[in-house]
Chain A
Amino acid sequence: MNTSATHSEIVKTADGIPLKVSLAKAQRKSRIRGILLVLPLFAFILLTFFIPIFDMLFRSVENHLVPEVMENTSKLLVNWDDRSGELPSEEVFAAAKMDFEKGHAERTILRVGRRLNYETPGFASLFRKTARRAKNFEPPYQDAFIERDKRWGEIDTWRLIKRESGAFTISYYLAAMDLAYAPDGSVGMRSETQRIYLKLFWRTLVLSAFITFLCLFLAYPIAHLLSTLPIRTSNLLMIMVLLPFWTSLLVRTTAWIALLQQEGVINDLLVGMGLLSDDGRLAMIHNATGTVVAMTHILLPFMVLPLYSIMKTIPPSYMRAAKNLGATPAVAFIRVYFPNTVSGIGAGCILVFIISIGYYITPALVGGTDGTLISNFIAYHMSISLNWGLAAALGVILLVVVLVLYYLYDRIVGIDKMKFA
């Protein structure tokens, strides 16, 4: 601002402050007021939502247990060359004896065993077996350890402890992608029978894509019908879309169980009509079919609503003009109507896809074994196997996929344009 140069020409407010300064002050005040309004919610979401998510990110790589409980051993193992082909020195075995004795007294050593068991099965029992007797070990400790269990005489055992004795680990991510360390420390695919997660991610993507396609296939015609019918009729039909949308998803899942199960309504109907014999009842639930049918039903409104709101904006005169210019109905649809709905298709598909790859409840109840998705395994590791690190790593991978899709959605539709019925 050039206040000094043209002092006399400056417009001032009643109290003698230059108008520009006064305006800038007022604008700053107003901006601060705006920020203060947003701040409470921002702080709330930060505390109750973002910090938990960051905590999960951290948990997927943190590894405090091993270096903390096996403090002495892990410090000494840093200097041990695991490629030398020799066992760690007697000093390391002595440190391990101390850690085992202390860890046994504090009841922490078995947790280390369980942690290392994720990497190589058998470590839980090895640690349990060793911890019980570590107090009575006499020097030379190397022999005492090997006498207790000959696995202590194998270099791979010590390699694993050395590898997992850092404060951070990538082993959960390796496990989540079906990778593993070979005994020599290189990373490679797990053996065929141990591969679970890549198949599961693939199945999640394929089923979600299939559900998205089914939703589009079913939603496109009815969205078109809703947008072209007179408003009174279409409002009435809209209830048929909105009522399921507003009904609890557990109610809808329960309904599908009642309909699809072996002794359920559809099977009874087919048997009653003589189309099926009583022992030939179809297995439509507790498998992938159940997941696909129930999820398509649950997610269909999410496809209908964006399509409807786009189709509503296309004037009917476009199609009439195209036909008037000589296009057949099919050509008019493909060249004129369809291109106008592409943004709605994009919005609906990404929305349905995002929701379905993270779906948990419906696959858990009707999915059986081949209809479960990645989220069911996250829940399994959270509450049953208690391998929280792996649950967190799988969650982070899923989160990254969703955020990429979310970014695409933002580019196509804009987050702030998101509206509900």
Chain B
Amino acid sequence: MALPPYTSPGERIWFYAYRIFCGLVFFFLIAPVIVVIPLSFNAVPFFTFTEEMLRFDPAGYSLRWYNDFFTNPNWQGAVKNSVIIAFFSTIIATFLGTVAALGLSRSDMPFKSTIMGLLISPMIVPLIISAAGMYFFYSQIGLQGTFLGVILAHTALGTPFVVITVTATLSGFDQVLVRSAASLGANPTTTFFRIIVPLILPGVISGALFAFITSFDEVVVVLFVGSYEQRTIPWQMFSGIREQISPTILAVATLLVCVSIALLTALELLRRRSERLRGMTPQ
């Protein structure tokens, strides 16, 4: 964006100062995420750039931390647990959340905003409080330190995201379509599977992705409700940083950045698809 020729010198200075400030803020946002990537290829167990790395000497780089990640049973167990826990809690959260969102979007639902507020409260209450409550209660009923306990806890934390995204999708849903389907002879079941589901599917999938990332990323609740048996990747990273910090954590971090890039792309594609289905031009 070029400045028009009539701008005064003061305005010019202000404009460039503003641009530089914004550039610095963007740098602040992105630099820490980017810096872990080269550091994870470090040949020595340091958390900083060595002289060999700065000279781009191949000897300064190695894949040993990735090798450690893929062979160490602690990390491999963590990956397996993370996937199992996130998979089951996503399935349950998506099912319960979508069904509830269908109910909440009906125009005749009584106490709509109160129910909505209660259903999304697991997202609002600080994690340490949810973790404390669940830890005390689940240890009384024998769920502390079990997979079931962690899955239930993560499901509770993930459902608000499903409820919110699916309700948002349904708010743009044209009810006339349901009536036209009915008038064309479709029964409610057919209408649901042939008309409603295809239209809200992008919302359901992005809700599921949110629920998945919530569980996959969550560490506070799993630290208390779970134990070593249920260690997830964030659990292992947390204890790794606390106990003996090794660059394997940076290798894991790099892999997780790749996972988040993939998720971000998936969500963006879903958003575009959803807008196209609703007849809007994607931006």
Q: Are A35 and B103 in contact (CB under 8 A)?
A: yes
Q: Is B164 an interface residue (CB 8 A)?
A: yes
Q: Which residues of A contact B133 (CB under 8 A)?
A: 49, 52-53, 55-56, 395
Q: Are A53 and B127 in contact (CB under 8 A)?
A: no
Binds B, one of A104-112, A121-129, A132-140, A217-225: A217-225
Q: Is A162 an interface residue (CB 8 A)?
A: no
Interface 1/0 per residue, B231-250 and A, CB below 8 Å: 00010011001100100011
Tell me the residues in window 149-190 of chain B with beta carbons closer than 8 Å to chain A beta carbons.
Answer: 152-153, 155-156, 159, 161, 163-165, 167-168
A268-B113 contact given A34-B103, A229-B1, CB 8 Å threshold = no
Q: Is B74 an interface residue (CB 8 A)?
A: no
Q: Are B164 and A255 in contact (CB under 8 A)?
A: no
Binds B, one of A64-72, A145-153, A194-202, A412-420: A412-420
Q: Are A402 and B260 in contact (CB under 8 A)?
A: no
Q: Is A207 an interface residue (CB 8 A)?
A: no
A241 CA to B28 CA in the complex, in Å? Answer: 10
Q: Which of A38, A240, A359 contacts B115 (CB 8 A)?
A: A38
Q: Which residues of B contact A382 (CB under 8 A)?
A: 132, 135, 224
Q: Which residues of A contact B219 (CB under 8 A)?
A: 249-250, 361
Q: Is A41 an interface residue (CB 8 A)?
A: yes
Q: Is B125 an interface residue (CB 8 A)?
A: yes
Q: Which residues of B contact A329 (CB under 8 A)?
A: 11, 14
Q: Which residues of B contact A231 (CB under 8 A)?
A: 283
Q: Is B208 an interface residue (CB 8 A)?
A: no
A77 CA to B228 CA in the complex, in Å? Answer: 46
Q: Which residues of A contact B217 (CB under 8 A)?
A: 248-250
Tell me the residues in window 25-61 of chain B with beta carbons closer than 8 Å to chain A beta carbons.
Answer: 25-26, 28-30, 32-33, 35-36, 39, 46-49
A258-B35 contact given A246-B213, A329-B11, A398-B129, CB 8 Å threshold = yes
Residue of A nearest to B168 (CB): A419
Q: Which residues of A contact B163 (CB under 8 A)?
A: 41
A27 CA to B109 CA in the complex, in Å? Answer: 10
Q: Is B220 an interface residue (CB 8 A)?
A: yes
Interface 1/0 per residue, B189-216 and A, CB below 8 Å: 0000000000000000000001001001
Tell me the residues in window 261-289 of chain A with beta carbons closer than 8 Å to chain B beta carbons.
Answer: 261, 263-265, 268
A255-B137 contact given A221-B21, A250-B237, CB 8 Å threshold = no
Residue of A nearest to B10 (CB): A329
Tell me the residues in window 374-421 of chain A with beta carbons closer than 8 Å to chain B beta carbons.
Answer: 375, 378-379, 382-383, 388, 391-392, 395, 398-399, 402, 406, 410, 415-416, 418-421
A243-B261 contact given A41-B163, A218-B28, CB 8 Å threshold = yes
Q: Is A190 an interface residue (CB 8 A)?
A: no
Interface centre among A41, A42, A301, A357 (most CB of B within 10 A): A41
Interface 1/0 per residue, B54-96 and A, CB below 8 Å: 0000000000000000000000000000000000000000001
Q: Is A358 an interface residue (CB 8 A)?
A: yes
Interface size class, chain B = 35 or more
Q: Are B136 and A388 in contact (CB under 8 A)?
A: yes
Residue of B nearest to A376 (CB): B128
Interface centre among A34, A242, A300 (most CB of B within 10 A): A34
Q: Which residues of B contact A219 (CB under 8 A)?
A: 25
Q: How far is the CB of A290 from chain B (nearest CB, A)?
A: 13
Q: Which residues of A contact B46 (CB under 8 A)?
A: 263
Using a Cβ cutoff of 8 Å, how many contacts connect chains A and B? 267
A9 CA to B22 CA in the complex, in Å? Answer: 72
A244-B49 contact given A52-B138, A416-B113, CB 8 Å threshold = no
A410 CA to B113 CA in the complex, in Å? Answer: 10
Q: Which residues of B contact A38 (CB under 8 A)?
A: 99-100, 103-104, 109, 115, 119
Q: Is A159 an interface residue (CB 8 A)?
A: no
A59 CA to B32 CA in the complex, in Å? Answer: 41
Residue of A nearest to B143 (CB): A48
Q: Is A51 an interface residue (CB 8 A)?
A: yes
A247 CA to B100 CA in the complex, in Å? Answer: 29
Q: Which of A27, A30, A244, A395 contacts B129 (CB 8 A)?
A: A395
Q: Are A237 and B26 in contact (CB under 8 A)?
A: yes
Q: Are B116 and A59 in contact (CB under 8 A)?
A: no
Q: Which of B119, B216, B264 contacts A242 (CB 8 A)?
A: B264
Q: Could you give 28 example pairs across A and B, Cβ below 8 Å?
A: A35-B110, A38-B109, A41-B119, A41-B159, A44-B96, A45-B118, A49-B133, A52-B130, A53-B133, A55-B136, A218-B25, A229-B1, A235-B283, A237-B26, A240-B26, A248-B234, A248-B253, A250-B253, A258-B35, A261-B47, A268-B49, A301-B29, A358-B128, A358-B129, A399-B125, A418-B164, A420-B164, A420-B210
Given contacts A38-B109, A52-B136, A420-B165, 19 further A-B contacts (CB under 8 A): A33-B106, A38-B115, A41-B163, A45-B159, A49-B130, A56-B129, A225-B22, A243-B257, A246-B260, A247-B256, A248-B216, A250-B241, A257-B47, A264-B48, A268-B49, A379-B131, A399-B126, A420-B210, A421-B267
**Which residues of B are in contact with A by a Cβ distance under 8 Å?**
1, 11, 14, 18-19, 21-22, 25-26, 28-30, 32-33, 35-36, 39, 46-49, 96-97, 99-100, 102-104, 106, 108-110, 113, 115-122, 124-138, 140, 152-153, 155-156, 159, 161, 163-165, 167-168, 210, 213, 216-217, 219-220, 224, 234, 237-238, 241-242, 245, 249-250, 253, 256-257, 260-261, 263-264, 267, 283
